[in-house]
Amino acid sequence: MQQLEKAVAVARAYVATHPDTLLVVTGDHETGGLAVEENDATDESGDAISAEDGPFSIRGSDRTFTIDWTTSGHTSVDVPVTVSGPLPDRFSGKHPNHVRARRAAAGAGAAPPTRRKRSH
């Protein structure tokens, strides 16, 4: 999350000097089971992909917290999409990932990506 915040800050700085830029921030999937917890040495930390992350500082406080993934699988839960710049209305509502990619490409004046056929 901290790396995402840094990346978005760089993108926002660019947009500040290039106001015709469409900025789209989203995830490629939802993982599920995200829990924000107090730091507790007796709490299990999981392993591999479901290991806890932290501790993280809380700004303006001497307290910290831990992020715990209670599942390691992807889900089909919707992910948020945050948009600023030209044509943000193209991203309102619910859409499959491939629709968002096509709309982002169209907003940038690029050819839309081709949709790959999935093998089952």
- Residue 15, in any domain of the structure: yes
> What are the contacts of 116-119 at 24+ separation with CB within 8 A?
none
Domain count across the chain:
2
- Residue 118, in any domain of the structure: no
Residue 9, domain extent: 1-28+79-112
- Mean pLDDT of the 65-89 span: 79
- C-beta atoms surrounding 24 within 10 Å: 19
In this structure, are 4 and 63 located in the same domain?
Answer: no
In this structure, are 72 and 55 located in the same domain?
Answer: yes
**Is pLDDT above 80 for 15?**
yes
- Residue 105, in any domain of the structure: yes
Q: Rounded to whole angstroms, how far apart are CA atoms 120 and 118? A: 6
The pTM score is 0.57
Work out the mean pLDDT of the chain and round it to a whole number: 76
Report the pLDDT value the prediction gives residue 120, as an integer from 0 to 100: 47
**Is pLDDT above 50 for 4?**
yes
- Residue 92, in any domain of the structure: yes
**Is pLDDT above 90 for 12?**
yes
In this structure, are 103 and 87 located in the same domain?
Answer: yes
